[in-house]
C-alpha cells in the first residue's frame, strides 16, 4: 500500500508489495523491493537500494548509495526469509550497508532510533543496535554484534563478531575490538584497551556527580583492584544496590560471553 501523499521520483523503481507511509519520499534512481515497509516522513534520497523483508520507521533520512536490507555476507546464508528492522529518526549517510539476519541466529537484524551512521558504516547480519548511537566513517560491525544505547564508535573501527559494546561507551578511531566492552568505558587501540570512563559524555547526558563517582569506582574495581573478574563482579553487584546507574554493569556481565577488554 502506498499512501497518496508519498512522493516517488519517476526514475525510481518501487516493486509490488511495498508499503509507503504518509509523506515518504523516494528519490531518483532508487530501488525499493517487495516486502519493504517505510514509515511516515522517511526520506530516501537518490540511488538508494532497499530490499525486503525490511521494515523502516518514521522520519529517517537515507542518503545516496546506501544499501539497506540486502542479503548478508555470511556463507551459511542460503536465501532464507530473514529480516531487518530500523527504528525512527535515524540518519543513514552515503554508502552505509545494513544486512538482514541469518537463521543460525534469530534471523533478524535490529537498529534502534535516533542513531547516526556516517559514510560507509557497515551493520552486518544479526546485529542489535540500540538508540542514540554514533557510528563514524567506516565503522564496521561484524555479525551478531550488540551495541547499547548512546555508544560512539570511532572512524575505521572494526568490531569482531559476537562482541557486545555496552551503553555509553566511546571507542576511539582505528580500534580493533575483539572482546566485550563494559558500559561507560572509553577504549582504543589494536587490540582495544580501556582508558577510563566516558566522563564528558555522561555529563552531557545529565548524569549526577554521585553516579559518575560510582561508575568510576566500578572501573577501578574491575581494572585496577587486582581482583579476578569473577571477584570484581560480586563487588559490582553489591555496589549496584546503592546506585541505579551501576545496574548496567550487572546486566552486561550477565550477558557477556567473549570476555571483556583488559
Q: Which residues are catalytic?
A: 125-126, 143
Q: Pick the closest to residue 32 from 53, 7, 15, 9 (CA basis).
A: 15
User: What single DSSP character describes residue 172?
Assistant: P
Q: Give the dihedral sign, CA 192/198/201/202.
A: positive
* CA 75 – CA 93 distance, rounded (Å): 27
Answer whether 20's CB lies under 8 Å from 38's CB: yes
Which residue matches cell numbers 572509553?
A: 186
Neighbours of 140 (CB within 10 A): 18
* CA 202 – CA 223 distance, rounded (Å): 20
156: left (phi over 0), alpha (psi -120 to 50) or beta: left
Q: Pick the closest to residue 32 from 62, 59, 77 (CA basis).
A: 62
Cell of 147: 551495541
* CA 249 – CA 166 distance, rounded (Å): 8
Q: Pick the closest to residue 232 from 182, 196, 198 (CA basis).
A: 182
Amino acid at each position: 500500500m502506498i499512501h497518496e501523499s508519498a512522493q516517488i521520483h519517476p526514475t525510481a523503481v518501487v516493486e509490488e508489495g511495498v508499503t509507503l507511509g504518509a509523506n515518504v519520499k523516494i528519490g531518483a534512481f532508487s530501488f525499493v523491493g517487495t516486502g519493504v515497509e517505510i514509515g511516515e516522513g522517511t526520506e530516501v534520497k537518490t540511488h538508494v537500494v532497499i530490499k525486503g523483508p525490511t521494515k523502516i520507521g518514521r522520519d529517517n533520512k537515507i542518503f545516496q548509495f546506501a544499501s539497506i536490507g540486502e542479503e548478508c555476507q555470511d556463507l551459511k546464508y542460503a536465501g532464507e526469509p530473514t529480516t531487518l528492522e530500523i527504528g525512527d529518526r535515524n540518519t543513514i549517510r552515503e554508502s552505509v550497508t545494513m544486512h538482514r539476519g541469518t537463521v543460525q541466529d534469530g534471523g533478524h537484524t535490529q537498529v534502534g532510533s535516533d542513531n547516526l551512521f556516517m559514510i560507509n558504516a557497515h551493520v552486518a547480519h544479526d546485529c542489535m543496535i540500540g538508540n542514540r548511537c554514533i557510528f563514524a566513517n567506516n565503522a564496521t560491525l561484524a555479525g551478531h554484534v550488540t551495541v547499547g544505547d548512546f555508544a560512539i564508535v570511532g572512524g575505521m573501527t572494526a568490531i569482531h563478531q559476537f562482541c557486545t559494546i555496552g551503553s555509553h561507551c566511546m571507542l576511539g578511531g582505528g580500534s580493533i575490538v575483539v572482546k566485550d566492552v563494559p558500559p561507560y568505558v572509553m577504549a582504543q587501540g589494536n587490540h582495544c584497551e580501556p582508558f577510563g570512563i566516558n566522563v564528558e559524555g555522561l555529563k552531557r547526558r545529565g548524569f549526577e556527580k554521585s553516579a559518575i563517582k560510582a561508575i568510576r569506582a566500578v572501573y577501578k574495581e574491575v581494572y585496577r583492584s587486582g581482583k579476578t573478574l569473577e571477584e570484581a563482579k560480586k563487588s559490582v553487584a553489591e555496589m549496584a544496590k546503592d546506585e541505579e546507574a551501576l545496574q548496567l554493569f550487572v546486566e552486561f556481565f550477565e550477558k557477556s560471553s567473549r570476555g571483556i577488554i583488559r
